[in-house]
Amino acid sequence: MKQVTAVLIGAGSRGNAYGNYAINFPHELNFVAIADPDLERSQLFAKQHEIPEDCVYSTWADVLTQPQLADVMVITTQDRMHYEPTMRALEKGYHVLLEKPMSPDPEECVKMEEAEDLYDRLLTICHVLRYTPFWSAIKRTIDDGEIGKIVSIQLNENVGNLHMAHSFVRGNWRNSDVSSPMILAKSCHDMDLLSWLVSKPCTHVSSFGSLMHFRKENAPEGAPLYCLDGCPAAEQCQYYAPRAYLEKNERSLRKITNDPSREGVIKALENGPYGKCVYHTDNNVVDHQVVNLQFQEGATATFSMSGFTHDISRGIQIMGTKGEIRGYMKEDKFTVYDFLTKQKKENFIHRPKSGHGGGDTGVMSNFLHEVRNHNGGKGLTSAGTSVESHMIAFAAEESRKEQGKSIDLAEFKERVRLN
């Protein structure tokens, strides 16, 4: 098996998640360069992957002024930093694995799709759920005709209350002006799943949702800007930062500070975004949202995302003309009900150890296989495929802002492409 060489752009949480593949399967993948403005993070990644000092760069631009350094580029920067390095990398000759979402700008998404074709390179988007054993098994069940033709789907995304507070109230995705709207940052996975499972073009979208709870007017009386500044509601608040972070493991703590010692964490909570009161941040993304979708030939789907759940998982009910599927990802199983025989069959799924139910390993393994065998074809989650589900997310956000107005997706896409 040919070893693929790679450059990583962005050594944060997602970059390290994909970087772990090279540690576990060094015969398949070798990172030869790293770029990140945080010197401590890039040096840590370089040490783990034995990258020489002269191949440690501070910006993606520094990498892309060099001759092509590797076969592929893995880009895991923040949402609004995806477009330029992706376009330059494709032009330079790299195959690209790009963290989702492609971009918060629909026009940039379309341009990246066009660049994939123009330069005849793979641009694979990390819709990791397609690569999990759980969702892959459900897809095979549908394709095998076990429940007949899909009529309707209900998909629930349980974000988890503490995950909501960490990533979307205090964290990098709290404000759509500097990241992405929630439906794109968190739930483009789900728009992609629904499109994939139904396998028909989506024709109309409508949506409702709001930032209902994490607002200044809901702060406990006397709550300070930072939890450590003496919050009178500390004992009663589920989001009290010291309780949320001080007992975490090192991997989790590195998401908030490069110094995972107790002193380092306390310092980060004293003046960093993760120590802020959840009711006093600059967040503006929704904490709950519902989306209605209609597909060609009549199938419908409803999606519900909520930041107020005790667990982090997804549940689904798929109703077909001959049967029904019900599954809950966290339980690693789904059940198929046959209308004719009135029998039910439980399907138990082996959960791999890697993140996203095995999806982090799955997307990398699949991407490397496609790189080794590239002959002009497209990947399972190519830019073209991803643009379709991204457009659903963009249309849903437009609908939400217009009090649930139904959006004709064909007209919406035409409007984007004409801009």
**Three-class HEC string of 318-334:** EEECCEEEEEEHHHCEE
Output the pLDDT for position 252: 85
Output the pLDDT for position 357: 83
Do 256 and 274 touch, CB atoms closer than 8 A? yes
In this predicted structure, the answer to whether residue 379 has a pLDDT above a threshold of 90 is: no
Output the pLDDT for position 250: 85
Q: Reduced to 3 states, what is the DSSP secondary structure of residue 274?
A: helix
In this predicted structure, the answer to whether residue 356 has a pLDDT above a threshold of 90 is: no
Strands lying side by side in the sheet with 288-295: 344-348, 333-338, 323-328, 313-320, 150-158, 300-306, 288-295, 202-210, 407-408
Angle among Cα 44, 351, 304 to the nearest 5 degrees reads: 95
Residue 121 CB neighbours (<10 A): 23
Q: Mean pLDDT in the chain? A: 96
Q: Where are the beta strands (DSSP E) in 297-398?
A: 300-306, 313-320, 323-328, 333-338, 344-348
How far apart are alpha carbons 400 and 291 in whole angstroms? 9
Output the pLDDT for position 277: 98
pTM, rounded to two decimals: 0.95
Q: What percent of the chain has pLDDT over 70?
A: 100
What average pLDDT does range 145-172 have in this prediction? 97
Name which of 7-16, 156-165, 203-212, 254-263 the model is least confident about: 254-263
Output the pLDDT for position 27: 97
Of 240, 64, 247, the closest CA to residue 166 belongs to: 240
Output the pLDDT for position 315: 98
How far apart are alpha carbons 176 and 104 in whole angstroms? 9
Output the pLDDT for position 390: 97
Number of residues written out for the chain: 419
pLDDT tier for residue 330 given thresholds of 50, 70 and 90: very high
Do 307 and 159 touch, CB atoms closer than 8 A? yes
What average pLDDT does range 256-274 have in this prediction? 93
The answer to whether the bond into 101 is cis (omega within 30° of 0) is yes
What structural domains and CATH numbers belong to the chain? 4-127 (3.40.50.720), 130-213+285-355+382-418 (3.30.360.10), 216-275 (no CATH)
What average pLDDT does range 205-231 have in this prediction? 97
Q: Where are the alpha helices (DSSP H) in 68-121?
A: 83-92, 106-118
What average pLDDT does range 279-304 have in this prediction? 98
Do 135 and 193 touch, CB atoms closer than 8 A? yes
pLDDT tier for residue 419 given thresholds of 50, 70 and 90: confident
In this predicted structure, the answer to whether residue 393 has a pLDDT above a threshold of 80 is: yes
What are the CA-CA distances from residue 196 to residues 23, 136, 287, 412 (Å)? Answer: 31, 10, 25, 20
pLDDT tier for residue 6 given thresholds of 50, 70 and 90: very high
What average pLDDT does range 325-331 have in this prediction? 96
Place of tokens 């040096």: 43
